[in-house]
């Protein structure tokens, strides 16, 4: 599996360990949606909308250098009010920003594993409707049909990742994280 460059998942320890053991050369991107839920538990409920909005600003930047600079500003902005959340976010830096070493055109597809989550949810929904399967082959047929539908949708209707962009990703060297930190600006509530 040497062709795998990036794996996107939540931070389940067993899953991360398995990814590292089987896909040694691949980068790992922590799903930003899953991480946002984890970060929200580090602040009072009343502060969650503000903190999550701050986190989203990291992903709204136009290039890798600005993503890293905004990340630093967000960590600094959280330190005064929520030092535990700031420390948690800072510790997740490499896991959350792995997407920046890929072309900008892919960022929306690779900073979260929500498409896989939606696919898993659809599989669960369909298997719950059936309830009890007569044998293993029946489960495989149903799940296979759901996967085939998804493949057809991505191939014919809306491509999740275009071939051209994927080819560019293979030939784009990963940029190094920025050496200099842009002077942070104040972030207010």
Residues 6+ apart with CB under 8 A from 103: 165, 168, 169, 172
Give pLDDT, residue 185.
Answer: 36
Residue-wise pLDDT for 28-69, tens only, equals 888 888 899 999 999 999 999 999 999 999 999 999 999 999
The whole-chain average pLDDT of the chain stands at 81
pTM, entire model: 0.67
What pLDDT, on a 0 to 100 scale, did the predictor assign at position 15? 79
pLDDT score at 82? 97
Using pLDDT thresholds of 50, 70 and 90, give the confidence band for residue 167. Answer: low
The burial of 132, by beta-carbon neighbours within 10 Å (0-12 exposed, 13-18 middle, 19 or more buried), is given as exposed
| Model pLDDT for residues 176-187, shown as the tens digit of each residue | 444 443 333 333
Q: State how far the Cα of 93 lies from the Cα of 32, in Å rounded to an integer.
A: 11
List pLDDT tens digits, range 82-127. 999 999 999 999 989 988 888 888 777 777 667 777 888 888 998 9
Higher pLDDT: 139 or 1? It is 139
Give percent of the chain with pLDDT exceeding 90. Answer: 39
Task: Kindly report which listed range (19-28, 112-121, 130-139) carries the lowest average pLDDT score.
Answer: 112-121
Q: Please tell me the distance from the alpha carbon of residue 91 to that of residue 95, in angstroms, as a whole number.
A: 9
All structural domains of the chain with their residue ranges: 32-171
Helices (H), the chain: 13-22, 32-40, 48-59, 64-81, 83-91, 93-96, 107-110, 114-130, 136-152, 163-171
pLDDT at 168: 67
Contacts of 2 (CB under 8 A, 6+ apart): 25
| Most confidently predicted of 10-19, 76-85, 91-100, 156-165 | 76-85
């Amino acid at each position: 599996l040497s062709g795998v460059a990036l794996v996107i998942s939540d931070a389940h320890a067993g899953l991360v360990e398995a990814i590292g053991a089987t896909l040694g050369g691949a980068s790992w991107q922590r799903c930003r949606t899953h991480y946002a839920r984890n970060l929200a538990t580090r602040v009072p409920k009343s502060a969650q909308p503000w903190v999550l909005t701050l986190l989203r600003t990291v992903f709204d930047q136009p290039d890798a250098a600005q993503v890293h600079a905004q990340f630093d500003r967000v960590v600094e902005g959280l330190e005064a009010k929520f030092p535990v959340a700031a420390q948690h976010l800072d510790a997740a830096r490499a896991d959350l920003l792995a997407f920046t070493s890929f072309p900008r055109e892919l960022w929306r597809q690779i900073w979260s594993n929500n498409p896989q989550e939606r696919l898993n949810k659809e599989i669960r929904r369909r298997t719950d409707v059936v309830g009890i399967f007569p044998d293993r082959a029946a489960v495989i047929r149903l799940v296979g049909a759901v996967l085939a539908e998804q493949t057809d949708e991505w191939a014919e209707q809306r491509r999740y990742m275009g071939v051209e962009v994927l080819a560019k990703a293979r030939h784009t060297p990963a940029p190094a994280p920025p050496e200099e930190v842009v002077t942070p600006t104040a972030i207010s509530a």
